[in-house]
């Protein structure tokens, strides 16, 4: 089983000086995320800072591990720093998180609610950082035959591999139909996984 948000990293650190490094600095990993719309950019801690340890002249060390990123994460920055100074940092672009196959398998109206059955058709564990959201929209039919939709509830989702789950939203007065959309947040864009309509 592969957790959707988890990525592996390897950071190589080398002492280029002619004198031993005593190991007073730490390695910090930070993630850059972009949230649409408006492309709001922010940095957040990827993992707690790690001790680098001493290094002999010319010695190179690899620090490996895993971290959980959000679907909006686009870059990883590694920094060597002490309490009050950043000695060196390097930023690399991250590959976009996969968007697994997730489907709405059934919509049903009962007990004053819209129920949506969701199935994860992939082998990924879709965890809280996986960026899967469900959005309910209420629709009002217009005189020209079109439908005007407005948000009517939504939330993030988690799903085990090949698992099913049901989400619901209370029906609000004034709507003629409901649309349910699944999407993944990915960097500057949202990727629609599935969308279905049901009349009231």
pLDDT tens track for 43-90: 988 888 888 989 999 999 999 999 999 988 999 999 999 888 898 999
pLDDT at 22: 87
181-200 residue pLDDT tens: 999 988 778 899 999 999 99
CA distance 65 to 39: 29
CA distance 56 to 74: 34
How many Å separate Cα 176 from the centre of its chain? 33
Give the percent of the chain with pLDDT over 90. 78
- Residue 70: count other Cβ atoms within 10 Å of its Cβ: 17
Q: Give buried/exposed letters for 14-33 (b at 16+ CB in 10 A, else e).
A: ebeeeeebeeebebbbbbbb
Q: Which residue has the tokens 């789950």?
A: 165
pLDDT at 42: 85
Instruction: Phi first, then psi: give them for residue 128, nearest 5 degrees.
Output: -60, -25
136-145 residue pLDDT tens: 999 999 999 9
In this model, does residue 1 exceed pLDDT 80? Answer: no
Residue 115, H or E segment: strand 113-120
Sequence-distant (≥ 6) Cβ neighbours of residue 153 within 8 angstroms: 135, 136, 169, 170
DSSP state of 21: B
The 3-state DSSP class for residue 103 equals strand
119-139 residue pLDDT tens: 999 999 999 999 999 999 999
pTM beyond 0.75: yes
pLDDT at 40: 80
Give the percent of the chain with pLDDT over 70. 98
Answer whether 102's CB lies under 8 Å from 126's CB.
yes
Q: Which of 40-44, 53-57, 146-150 has the lowest mean pLDDT?
A: 40-44
The 3-state DSSP class for residue 75 equals strand
Query: Helices (DSSP H) in the chain: which residue ranges?
Result: none
Answer whether 148's CB lies under 8 Å from 140's CB.
yes
């Amino acid at each position: 089983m592969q957790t959707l948000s988890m990525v592996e990293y390897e950071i190589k650190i080398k002492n280029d000086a002619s004198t031993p490094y005593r190991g007073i600095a730490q390695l910090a990993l930070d993630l850059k995320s972009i949230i649409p719309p408006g492309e709001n950019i922010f940095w957040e801690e990827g993992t707690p800072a790690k001790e680098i340890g001493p290094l002999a002249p010319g010695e190179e060390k690899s620090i490996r591990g895993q971290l959980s990123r959000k679907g909006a994460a686009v870059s990883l920055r590694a920094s060597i720093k002490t309490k009050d100074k950043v000695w060196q940092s390097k930023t690399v672009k991250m590959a976009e998180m996969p968007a697994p196959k997730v489907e709405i398998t059934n919509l049903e109206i009962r007990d004053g609610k819209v129920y949506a059955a969701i199935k994860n058709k992939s082998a990924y564990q879709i965890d809280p950082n996986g960026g899967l959201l469900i959005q309910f929209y209420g629709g009002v039919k217009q005189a020209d035959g079109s439908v005007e939709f407005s948000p009517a509830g939504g939330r993030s989702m988690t799903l085990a591999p090949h698992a099913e789950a049901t989400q619901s939203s209370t029906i609000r007065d004034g709507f003629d139909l409901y649309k349910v959309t699944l999407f993944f947040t990915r960097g500057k864009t949202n990727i629609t996984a599935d969308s279905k309509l049901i009349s009231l």
